[in-house]
Amino acid sequence: MQSKQYSVKVYECSIDDEERFMSFFDTNYTLFKDHLIVINGYLSQNIKDYLNSKSLIFINNIKLPKGRSRRALEEEFEAQRRESDIDKIIAETKLEKLSKRLQNNLTVLDDIIRSGRELNIDGDLLLLNRVNSGATIYTTGNLIITQLVEGSVRCDGNFMILTTSSKANVIFHGEEIDNSFLEDRLSRVELKNQEIVITPVFKKEINWVS
């Protein structure tokens, strides 16, 4: 793809009086001949003909994005940097706690599990990426998936933590889990007194598996 970026001078206005509008542009033609004229509100054929006769480029009722000052951009970038630093600290804390919780022959992966791939894990699995539709994961131990699950998951451990889309198929100890309990939110699925219990997990909780 080839592209170019331009800086455009814009004059934005509305028309209350056509004669006054045309008189204004007759007087200031040299100033505005290289501008893009943005006209808000009703634009008559008379004004269109006038602007075309002047070879002025114009658009009607189009909202253009407004530029921001350098200071505003710097403040936004700084806020994003601070937020990224906070997220990194939280992620590192979570990973440390997860590693302590998952100690049954732990496997840690950061791969996208793509369609057609079948992953069989003897023990616990901590997956730091997504599971695509058409992929399958089976673990004999506990399972934590930090990104979206769209494929099939089979878990026979004490618990699993994951979030799914409507495409996912999740089976815990031979029981299929209703996706409505897992869609669009991180949830912990575990065995308590031989019953399957599903509990939402708040993403901003640092002690999420304590």
The backbone torsions φ and ψ at residue 191, rounded to the nearest 5 degrees and listed phi first, read -95, 125
Please report the pLDDT score of residue 156 as a whole number: 93
User: Do residue 184 and residue 97 come from a single domain?
Assistant: yes
User: Do residue 96 and residue 38 come from a single domain?
Assistant: no
Please report the pLDDT score of residue 73 as a whole number: 62
Tell me, yes or no, whether 81 lies in a domain: no
Instruction: Quote the CA–CA distance of 96 and 112 in Å, as a whole number.
Output: 21
User: Do residue 104 and residue 16 come from a single domain?
Assistant: no
User: Do residue 119 and residue 162 come from a single domain?
Assistant: yes
**What predicted TM-score, i.e. pTM, was given to this entire model?**
0.50
Number of domains making up the chain: 2
User: Do residue 132 and residue 192 come from a single domain?
Assistant: yes
Please report the pLDDT score of residue 209 as a whole number: 40
Q: Give the side-chain half-sphere CA count within 13 A for 158.
A: 8
Tell me, yes or no, whether 54 lies in a domain: yes
pLDDT per residue, tens digit, the chain (210 aa), is: 677 776 778 888 888 898 999 999 888 888 888 888 888 988 899 989 998 998 888 888 888 776 666 676 666 666 666 666 556 655 555 555 655 555 557 888 988 999 999 999 999 999 989 999 999 999 999 999 988 999 999 999 989 999 888 889 999 999 999 888 888 788 889 988 888 898 887 644 433 343
Instruction: Quote the CA–CA distance of 79 and 147 in Å, as a whole number.
Output: 24
Query: Residue 34 corresponds to which tokens in the numbers above?
Result: 């290289």
Please report the pLDDT score of residue 32 as a whole number: 82
Its domain, for residue 191, covers 89-200
Instruction: Quote the CA–CA distance of 198 and 178 in Å, as a whole number.
Output: 10
Tell me, yes or no, whether 83 lies in a domain: no
Q: Is 126 exposed, middle or buried (0-12, 13-18, 19+ CB in 10 A)?
A: buried
Tell me, yes or no, whether 156 lies in a domain: yes
Please report the pLDDT score of residue 154 as a whole number: 96
Tell me, yes or no, whether 47 lies in a domain: yes
Tell me, yes or no, whether 79 lies in a domain: no
**What number of other Cβ atoms are within 10 A of residue 149's Cβ?**
27
Please report the pLDDT score of residue 208 as a whole number: 34
Please report the pLDDT score of residue 9 as a whole number: 84
User: Do residue 149 and residue 100 come from a single domain?
Assistant: yes
Instruction: Quote the CA–CA distance of 126 and 108 in Å, as a whole number.
Output: 5
Tell me, yes or no, whether 141 lies in a domain: yes
User: Do residue 136 and residue 95 come from a single domain?
Assistant: yes
User: Do residue 56 and residue 110 come from a single domain?
Assistant: no
* Buried residues in 11-45 as b, exposed as e (16+ CB within 10 A): eeeeeeeeeebbeebeeeeeeeeebbbbbeeebee
Please report the pLDDT score of residue 139 as a whole number: 94
Tell me, yes or no, whether 37 lies in a domain: yes
